[in-house]
Structure 1
Amino acid sequence: MAPPLAGAKHNSHQRKLKPILGVSTALIVVIIIVVTAVIMRAKSTRRKSHWNDNNIEAAVMLKRYSYENVKKMTNSFAHVIGEGGFGTVYKGKLPDASGRDIALKILKESKGNGEEFINELASMSRASHVNIVSLFGFCYEGSNRAIIYEFMPNGSLDKFISEKMSTKMDWKILYNIAVGVARGLEYLHNSCVSKIVHFDIKPQNILMDEDFCPKISDFGLAKLCKKKDSVISLLDARGTIGYIAPEVFSKNFGGVSHKSDVYSYGMVILEMIGAKNIKRPESTSKNSSMYFPDWIYEDLERKETMKYFGDHIIEEEENIVKKMALVGLWCIQTNPSDRPPMRKVVEMLEGSLEALQVPPKPLLDLHVVTAWESVEESQETCFSTPNQLERPITL
């Protein structure tokens, strides 16, 4: 049996040792957690790097070209055919026996892992339709990123509109363009492998081939959704000032959905018929700059719609313009639920003028105007601005 003094010393030693062991154990646990977090982060980084650098072509199902190939295809970037918020577009030729003309967009260096670049490739590689621009490949080498797609000899819709405004408009061509864009959007919303909402429909992103067949392009802001999704969750507003649906930058107007593209399409249609470019000699509004769809309603009521579209317009052309105006006004309704889906828009455009009713006249909401103007003044990178087009006031 141990002496009493020895037992006391032993118990005292154990009491002193317990706090030390407790602190040591806690320290070891913290170290394990930190080390595990570092390892997981490193693995995640390696996975992202591996994904972006080696396997992206498998995900988007497109041919991958080296940056050296890109330089050869564009003759060292000799022929610039366009510039935008995401990069510069050059004309070139495919490096194969066909020697087919191509447009090659060199993207500006973006933050992070190039989300816009990957987003555009993922969206467009899933779409195959006569009214959607076809992709031929891409380049991804470090900060050098390029998208290669079909060359469109008649350029963008905004240039076509600006060139024709000073001359006689070909209303049949404009009508066919309107129908083609509507069919392209209907395909993206309903018939594509993945439901795609474009979020940046505007004249600059509608390109035309040699036969003036319109093709929707620039999917950098697009969002892929599940077919059943009726409302889309967005972290940030996106689009171009003047074409953004009210609900995209203010939840007070409803949920964001494919109807947001419908609004943008309606603004494009009204611009195609020249509504916001026409200078009216007088205005019933107290404001010097009247919201342009507002006076279309007034002229529809007075049956004077064609007064500002030219003196020599024939009846067939007049019916085309009236139909496009009515469809455009239906598409820009403030409440998303009041806008027709693109399938219905196609039916309205291809149906008879007599079947179309004048839509309800939305009230001008000064809160929306203020919100839009504050957005326009901000420097958020998720927005792009039109290069040549005057900004209309929104609903």
Structure 2
Amino acid sequence: MYCCVIISIILYSLLSRTSLCSYVDPHFLACEPQTCRNQSIRYPFYIQGKQEPFCGYPGFAISCDTNNAFPILNLSSISYIIHQIFYHNESLRVSNAAFSSTNNNTPLYCLSLAQNLTLPPTNTFNLVDQNNHKDIILFFGCNLSSMPPELMDYRIGCSEGNNKTGGSVLALYKDDVKTVNLASKSCGTGVEVVDAVVEEEKSSGGGGIKEALRRGFMLNWTASDCKLCSSTGGRCGFNSSIFTFQCYCTDRIHASKCYIPDGRNKASLKMGLALGLAAAVTLLLVMVTLYCTRWKKQNQRHLLVDAFLERHGHLQIKRYSYSEMKKVTNSFKNKLGEGGFGSVYKGQLKDGRHVAVKILSELKGHGEDFINEVVSMSRTSHVNVLALLGFCFEGSKQALVYEFMPNGSLEKLLSEENDMIGDRQLDYQTLYDIAIGVAKGLEYLHKGCNTRILHFDIKPHNILLDENFCPKISDFGLAKVCTRKESMVSISGTRGTAGYIAPEVFSRNFGVISHKSDVYSYGMMVLEMVGRRRNIKTEVDASSETYFPYWVYNRLVSNQQLGLQSISNEFDNEKSMEKSITL
């Protein structure tokens, strides 16, 4: 159902467009011209916080705060009010925000002695007609009660520490020596000289300076040319990471201008885009269908496993996250083995114990193998049954954490290449002890638990040995959990490994399935241990030599030697024969 909804949404979003020509590049949309206090803002300027930096040239960011009457340009931490931008000749009129005032001539804020009011040097902005500019001097801390009347007109605001109506800052032209000397006497030691550039005002006196400060001055800017891009319908921008001008067009980003196709090219382009749309939709439908089919299958598996984990929240084993599995195995560096189920890695827990972590490649069926393993092994506690210490089930990641068996599997020790274990030979007594240990483990699974557990895959490969060669039954992926009262069980399909499967397991004509099916597999394993050879030996020529039990039977009835490789003397030979017959 969910997949149908996804397909419907995708089809609607794609087919609702008449063609791919309706696509518009996001850079083109982002760099649409904006307005700030009735002033048009476009390249090379951009409004900080409202437009992306790639819409403008570096250093041309503009603040458009609702508290300010004009847009603000920041040059080296000095705020300048933009009165007007002239895009045709790349110039603008600005004034230092420190000299701005409200409509009733109240200053916006008081001036500071440490405030820098000098036009900073910049590579992008230059003064227009520098011969028309004059420097001014600011006097701070002037005593209003002793100030001559002719200086009152030169007051432009207040200084920090005074109220805004007191007005204790004077502004004079630097070359007006007489007025400057008079202000020096009135302001005393509180004089601070700061150079500030303004355009010379024709009217004289304090009113002329006030007007000059309010009007400000003209600046030219230097940035990449936008004319060619804008003339072809594009919007200009700049990539600061590679310091390159870019032309944002409706279809994509171009270097300098947009491509304008003629009539024939437009028709071909539309046809090509329509065909591309059809192919893209078809491919997308196939991919979504395959994904939804796989998702539905995996989701059913995960729901089954999640339901089990919820019902068995009291499990004594620990649940790990996948990130914890990576830490335990040192990012899966030490691989112990690999099979159809996945891979096994050596790891170490926080308490120092070594563990074997089996990472499952995928859930089989509906996750029954994973559930069987966790259910079966979490309910067992026996010296001859491998201990399950924890598990991981996180999305598509599944793992099982076992105690580490340093001597590996019995299957490896029975091969001809592994007769020697270090400096020690695997003698008959050791094999006998292993066989007895496995038998005790099976007896525990069949009779010692609250529930009867049938393994259905007893073989040397699933018998692991610790440092003292104590055997432990492992791999409960095919196990069946039933009540102790059940003398026979029902299973679907065939379980186990060829050569070890009881006849009734793969054909019901031989009888019912019960715990005795494990006993049959155990017997086949013991025969393999006694003869130190594979249960099914396909490389021999005679068919009578292929099936190992038949080979043992023929040799016993004809009183021939079994050729046991671990027998060293006559006493061991008699002892081994007795124990083999007993087993």
TM-score band by shorter chain is 0.5 to 0.7
- 8 Å CA contact 2:415–2:532 kept in 1: the answer is no
- 8 Å CA contact 1:198–1:223 kept in 2: the answer is yes
Q: Distance in 1 between matches of 2:575 and 2:408?
A: 23
- 8 Å CA contact 1:73–1:93 kept in 2: the answer is yes
Identical residues among aligned pairs (%): 53
- 2:448 maps to 1:191: yes
1:120 positional shift: 0.5
Of the three residues 516, 527, 542, the one matched with 1:270 is 527
Q: Distance in 2 between matches of 1:104 and 1:200?
A: 20
Q: Distance in 1 between matches of 2:536 and 2:317?
A: 47
- Paired amino acid for 2:318: K
The Cα RMSD (Å) is: 3.0
1:112 positional shift: 5.2
- 2:552 maps to 1:296: yes
Of the three residues 512, 517, 530, the one matched with 1:255 is 512
1:292 positional shift: 2.5
Higher relative CO (CA 8 A, sep ≥ 6), structure 1 or 2? 1
275 and 303 in structure 1: CA distance in 2 versus 1, 3 angstrom threshold? farther
Q: Which runs of 5+ in 1 are unaligned?
A: 1-43, 327-347, 350-395
Of the three residues 105, 108, 124, the one matched with 2:377 is 124
Q: Distance in 1 between matches of 2:339 and 2:507?
A: 26
Q: Distance in 2 between matches of 1:113 and 1:295?
A: 41
Q: Provide the TM-score with structure 1 as the length reference.
A: 0.64
Residues 90-120 of structure 1, C-alpha deviation per residue, up to 9 Å, x if partnerless? 00001x2x21100000112124542211110
Of the three residues 358, 361, 380, the one matched with 1:108 is 361
Q: Distance in 1 between matches of 2:542 and 2:331?
A: 55
Q: Distance in 1 between matches of 2:302 and 2:340?
A: 29
- 2:403 maps to 1:150: yes
- 8 Å CA contact 1:57–1:64 kept in 2: the answer is no
Q: Distance in 2 between matches of 1:49 and 1:76?
A: 29
Of the three residues 334, 340, 343, the one matched with 1:79 is 334
- Paired amino acid for 1:291: Y
- Paired amino acid for 2:316: M
58 and 311 in structure 1: CA distance in 2 versus 1, 3 angstrom threshold? closer
- 2:466 maps to 1:209: yes
Q: Distance in 2 between matches of 1:248 and 1:279?
A: 18
- 8 Å CA contact 1:296–1:305 kept in 2: the answer is no
- Paired amino acid for 2:490: S
Of the three residues 150, 160, 182, the one matched with 2:413 is 160
- Paired amino acid for 1:297: Y
Task: Describe how 1:1-395 pairs up with structure 2 within 5 A.
Answer: 48=303, 51-52=306-307, 55=310, 58=313, 60-94=315-349, 96=350, 98-111=351-364, 113-162=366-415, 166=419, 169-274=426-531, 276-277=533-534, 287=543, 289-306=545-562, 308-310=563-565, 313-326=568-581, 348-349=582-583
Residues 28-61 of structure 1, C-alpha deviation per residue, up to 9 Å, x if partnerless? xxxxxxxxxxxxxxxx979946944862661533
User: SS of the residue aligned with 2:343?
Assistant: strand
User: SS of the residue aligned with 1:133?
Assistant: coil
Q: Which structure dedicates a bigger proportion of its chain to strand?
A: 2
- 8 Å CA contact 1:155–1:207 kept in 2: the answer is yes
* Structure number with larger C-alpha Rg: 2
1:217 positional shift: 0.3
155 and 45 in structure 1: CA distance in 2 versus 1, 3 angstrom threshold? closer
Q: Distance in 2 between matches of 1:325 and 1:50?
A: 43
Q: Distance in 1 between matches of 2:511 and 2:343?
A: 35
1:297 positional shift: 2.4
169 and 316 in structure 1: CA distance in 2 versus 1, 3 angstrom threshold? farther
Q: Provide the TM-score with structure 2 as the length reference.
A: 0.44
- 8 Å CA contact 2:413–2:419 kept in 1: the answer is no
- Paired amino acid for 1:125: S
Q: Which runs of 5+ in 2 are unaligned?
A: 1-298
Tell me the matched-pair count.
Answer: 279
